[in-house]
């Protein structure tokens, strides 16, 4: 019984870790895009 509870707790932790990592990845991608976008206007003007 104790093994079953520990594996269930671990599965729950892994099940929460994946969406959390996905959200952090998406957030960093969008923030990086928003940070580079104003600079791209200057780059495009040069060409």
What does 1-47 look like in DSSP terms, one character per residue?
A: -HHHHHHHHHHHHHHHHHHHHHHHHHHHHHHHHHHHHHHHHHHHHH-
More confident residue, 1 or 17: 17
- Confidence tier at 47 by pLDDT (50, 70, 90): confident
- Whole-number pLDDT of residue 11: 72
pLDDT tens for 10-28 read: 678 888 999 999 999 999 9
Percentage of residues in the chain with pLDDT exceeding 90?
Answer: 45
Distance between CA atoms of 29 and 5, rounded to whole angstroms?
A: 36
Identify the residue whose tokens are 């976008």. 37
Is the pTM higher than 0.75?
no
State the average pLDDT for the chain: 84
Tell me the domain boundaries of the chain: 1-47
């Amino acid at each position: 019984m104790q093994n079953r509870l520990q594996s269930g707790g671990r599965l729950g932790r892994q099940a929460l870790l994946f969406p959390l990592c996905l959200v952090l990845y998406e957030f960093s991608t969008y923030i990086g895009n928003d940070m580079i976008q104003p600079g791209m206007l200057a780059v495009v003007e040069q060409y």
